[in-house]
Structure 1
């Protein structure tokens, strides 16, 4: 029986490529001082193929990335084409140097937060090559209804995803707009119905008042 090492290199290379799968890679920066003492860390394990042998590492399936973000020569193994880079609540400004490298981005924010709403949301434009963005909503999803209009996103709305961590519900930007419009329409109908009901009540009371006056 032919062992893996005895297969032709072209076949081994194809097998190594098939081991590559999209991952969610958690990336964080800890800093005790705004200008120094930055520490890059990730809780995501190193891809298994890279721990197997030198040949797999030499295949360039993953790159050593983000070493420029910390004071130490730390790095994260990434495949920028398919990996979803999750930065949590870490500020966008920390990733300014590497933002153009990121094609799939995930972060958590509160749209009701004044700093995010008025300032940091503009920095989404730094991720100029992001083809997909995932937003973990730190406040109720309704707070994000206008986000598709008020924020300039680097990706198409169908590739913009809003995640409600409370129930795991995920909707894209187009679906979010539909939910928003339907909610506004429902609210308008409710107001119209209340107005019509109030108008009918006023008309009935007025009619009764005239009837009572006529009787007198």
Structure 2
């Protein structure tokens, strides 16, 4: 029996289930160089179009019937010259290479549910996240339910960001931190624990063990619970 000979209801159901998660990458916004007031620019009135390097899903090219039933909707519709594409906001994950590029997601911020953050193009990401409030824009992503952060150089500092700064509306239990070198996926509390352990209990950044002559002082400092997780708090973390 061929696919075309299946009942229409069954075919339409199969098309609706055929979508696979995709990575929406290199989202960019093109703005007009014309004259706009500060308020107009804040309202994105100067946007010409948004674009992404991600190709349209294959389902939208299979046939007319697949396009009718595939679970995609038009996205990147902002601007006076929109260059829209198709997105499944339940499945697709939006990927950014710096904290600043989150702002390039102009339209459908309230629809994005999954976000993947790298800092390859943002060497001062910690300064951006803390002193410049780069994560405040996540307040616009009201349906954000999952965030993945790739740990680059200085990545342990994300543990402090997790503890002291917010990630918008995303549930804290759905925020994970990925170490590409080891493949480890850590929760926020686990990453904070790793950072505290390295700072107070383990080797220094150059791989040198604690000085034996100062070990008693280091132990006393490590057990001081005013500036880091106590041993009891560490024990409570799963």
From the superposition, tell whether residues 193 and 8 of structure 1 become closer, same or farther in structure 2 (CA, over 3 Å). Answer: farther
Contact 2:129–2:135 under 8 Å retained in 1: yes
Matched, 1:6 2:5: yes
- The number of aligned residues is 196
Q: Which residue of 1 aligns with 2:232?
A: none
Greater Rg by CA = 1
Contact 2:18–2:70 under 8 Å retained in 1: no
Q: CA deviation at 1:17?
A: 2.5
From the superposition, tell whether residues 32 and 135 of structure 1 become closer, same or farther in structure 2 (CA, over 3 Å). Answer: same
From the superposition, tell whether residues 165 and 40 of structure 1 become closer, same or farther in structure 2 (CA, over 3 Å). Answer: farther
Q: 1:176 is paired with a residue of what secondary structure?
A: helix
Q: Which residue of 1 aligns with 2:94?
A: 85
Matched, 1:44 2:51: no
Q: Deviations over 1:151-188 (max 9, x none)?
A: 21232333212234566554232321231233344159
Q: CA RMSD in A?
A: 3.1
* Aligned counterparts of 2:111 and 2:144: Cα–Cα separation in 1: 8
Structure 2 gap ranges (5+): 34-40, 204-208, 219-238
Which of 126, 136, 139 does residue 125 from structure 1 map onto? 139
Name whichever of 33-42 and 139-148 sits farther off: 33-42
* Aligned counterparts of 1:192 and 1:80: Cα–Cα separation in 2: 55
Contact 1:112–1:143 under 8 Å retained in 2: no
From the superposition, tell whether residues 45 and 195 of structure 1 become closer, same or farther in structure 2 (CA, over 3 Å). Answer: same
Q: Which residue of 1 aligns with 2:216?
A: 196
Q: CA deviation at 1:37?
A: 5.9
**TM-score, normalised by the number of residues in structure 1:** 0.75
From the superposition, tell whether residues 33 and 91 of structure 1 become closer, same or farther in structure 2 (CA, over 3 Å). Answer: farther
Which of 98, 101, 105 does residue 108 from structure 2 map onto? 98
Name whichever of 54-63 and 81-90 sits farther off: 81-90
**Structure with the higher fraction of residues in helix conformation:** 1
Structure 1 gap ranges (5+): 199-216
